[in-house]
């Protein structure tokens, strides 16, 4: 080994879902929205004044913060924005998880959490979900250095009700509790209603799913102003200009259009419910998803073979070769016609391969 190699920080990075770019592919593997962003987004980007690129963007992203605060009916100093919720979450791990006690998150959850914990040398424990993938809230009533979980959880798709979330927050007044609501807009009840009641609660959301803007990389957090100040202090100690100018103006424009947002979410919910019916009739089993994806298994088929078969048909879903979830495949909800193509190939596979 070369002497300098010894000094390098070694990490096992998070593996993002693949981003193939094939004509006519059906891409149901990274929970993106199949519909375009609100029409106003195209309008402001078409009119973009590129001479502004000369200048640094507003480090406070005030335009975007203002619209988010208005939309969610909170004060502007209760909102933090970042380059996707991954950026917000990475900053939150660094800001709030700084204890000798372990932080807690479920054993089956967003696989980025252990990566940040390892990177920042934060101790962690992972209470087990039950056999239906539900959290056992009592597991979180123990001394800890902080708590984080997605709601709905990923990749399981299962939503915990707001009472359960509130119980966990109530029992953890000495820690920061982060609820990662990347998928909350597809039928869940947000913990945003609790941010004025609990000063240790941080709610994180993203523009990548329900607002159809994964490519712009916008995420945000809402919480007590002291939490937001602490997050900003860390942000300004790493990189002041996180959101670029087009993202700030396009993001603000997307938030203004509540009607389009609600229409898009409802369409996805409708397609999801139909997908449950069709897959259920084929013998698939899955938690009752309240997200924009299903996490499905089948007693009589080899899920890995199905995953590979679909790839050969240009249909991409996501599979983790990880204990506990090896027999599951995660299917993002696309348009109705994308789902029809998906169903067609699943049927074809089952005809050939049913054990």
Using CB under 6 A, list all residues that contact ligand PMP. Answer: 84-86, 110, 150, 154, 180, 182, 206, 208, 214, 219
* Nearer residue to ligand PMP within complex by CB, 165 or 301: 165
225-235 vs 84-96: helix axis angle to the nearest 10?
A: 100
> b or e along 107-144 (b: 16 or more beta carbons within 10 Å of the residue's beta carbon)?
ebbbebbbbbbebeebebebbebeeebbbebebbeeeb
Enter the DSSP assignment of 6.
G
* Nearer residue to ligand PMP within complex by CB, 265 or 346: 265
Enter the DSSP assignment of 102.
P
Single out the residue of 251, 241, 240, 182 nearest to residue 216, CA to CA: 251
* Nearer residue to ligand PMP within complex by CB, 85 or 247: 85
Minimum CB–partner distance for residue 347 and ligand PMP (Å)? 28
Minimum CB–partner distance for residue 58 and ligand PMP (Å)? 20
Tell me which residue has its CB nearest to ligand PMP: 84
3-state secondary structure of 147: strand
Minimum CB–partner distance for residue 124 and ligand PMP (Å)? 16
3-state secondary structure of 103: strand
* Nearer residue to ligand PMP within complex by CB, 152 or 346: 152
Q: Where are the alpha helices (DSSP H) in 97-142?
A: 113-119
* Nearer residue to ligand PMP within complex by CB, 294 or 301: 294
Single out the residue of 180, 165, 202, 213 nearest to residue 291, CA to CA: 180
Minimum CB–partner distance for residue 35 and ligand PMP (Å)? 16
Q: Give me the residues paired with residue 205 across strands.
A: 220
* Nearer residue to ligand PMP within complex by CB, 57 or 84: 84
Minimum CB–partner distance for residue 61 and ligand PMP (Å)? 15
Which residue, chain included where needed, has tokens 């979180």? 140
Structure tokens at 231: 């997050």
Minimum CB–partner distance for residue 187 and ligand PMP (Å)? 16
Q: Would you list the DSSP string of 183-240?
A: TGGGTPPPGGGGTTT-TTEEEEEESSSTTS-GGG--EEEEE-HHHHHHHHHHHTTT-S
Measure Cα distances from 57 to 54, 203, 242, 248, 249 in Å: 9, 25, 9, 8, 10
Measure Cα distances from 58 to 112, 230, 247 in Å: 28, 19, 11
Structure tokens at 242: 């996180």
H/E stretch holding 297: strand 293-298
* Nearer residue to ligand PMP within complex by CB, 206 or 275: 206
Minimum CB–partner distance for residue 264 and ligand PMP (Å)? 16
Minimum CB–partner distance for residue 108 and ligand PMP (Å)? 12
Minimum CB–partner distance for residue 243 and ligand PMP (Å)? 12
* Nearer residue to ligand PMP within complex by CB, 63 or 154: 154
* Nearer residue to ligand PMP within complex by CB, 110 or 261: 110
């Amino acid at each position: 080994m070369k002497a300098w190699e010894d000094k390098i920080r070694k990490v096992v990075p998070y593996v993002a879902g693949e981003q193939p770019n094939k004509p006519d592919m059906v891409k149901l593997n990274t929970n993106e929205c199949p519909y375009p962003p609100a029409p106003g987004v195209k309008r402001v980007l078409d009119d973009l004044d590129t001479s502004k690129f000369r200048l640094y963007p507003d480090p406070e992203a005030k335009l975007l913060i203002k619209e988010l605060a208005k939309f969610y009916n909170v004060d502007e100093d209760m909102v933090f924005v970042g380059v996707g919720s991954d950026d917000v979450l990475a900053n939150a791990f660094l800001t709030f998880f700084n204890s000798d006690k372990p932080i807690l998150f479920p054993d089956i959850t967003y696989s980025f959490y252990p990566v940040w914990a390892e990177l920042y040398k934060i101790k962690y424990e992972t209470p087990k979900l039950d056999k239906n993938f539900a959290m056992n809230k009592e597991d979180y009533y123990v001394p800890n250095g902080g708590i984080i979980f997605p709601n709905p959880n990923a990749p399981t798709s299962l939503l915990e009700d707001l009472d359960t979330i509130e119980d966990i927050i109530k029992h953890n007044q000495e820690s920061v509790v982060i609820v990662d609501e990347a998928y909350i807009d597809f039928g869940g009840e947000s913990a945003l209603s609790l941010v004025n009641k609990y000063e240790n609660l941080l709610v994180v959301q993203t523009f990548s799913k329900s607002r159809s803007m994964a490519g712009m990389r916008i995420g945000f957090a809402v919480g007590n102003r002291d939490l937001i100040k602490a997050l900003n202090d860390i942000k300004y100690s790493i990189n002041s200009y996180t959101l670029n100018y087009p993202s700030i103006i396009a993001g603000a424009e997307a938030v203004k259009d509540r009607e389009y947002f609600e229409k898009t979410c409802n369409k996805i919910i409708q397609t999801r419910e139909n997908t449950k019916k069709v897959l259920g009739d084929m013998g698939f089993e899955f938690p009752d998803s309240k997200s924009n994806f299903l996490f499905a298994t089948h007693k009589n088929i080899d899920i890995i073979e199905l995953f590979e078969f679909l790839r050969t048909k240009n249909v991409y879903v996501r599979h983790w070769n990880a204990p506990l979830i090896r027999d599951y495949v995660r299917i993002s909800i696309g348009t109705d016609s994308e789902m029809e193509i998906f169903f067609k190939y699943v049927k074809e596979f089952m005809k050939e391969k049913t054990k």
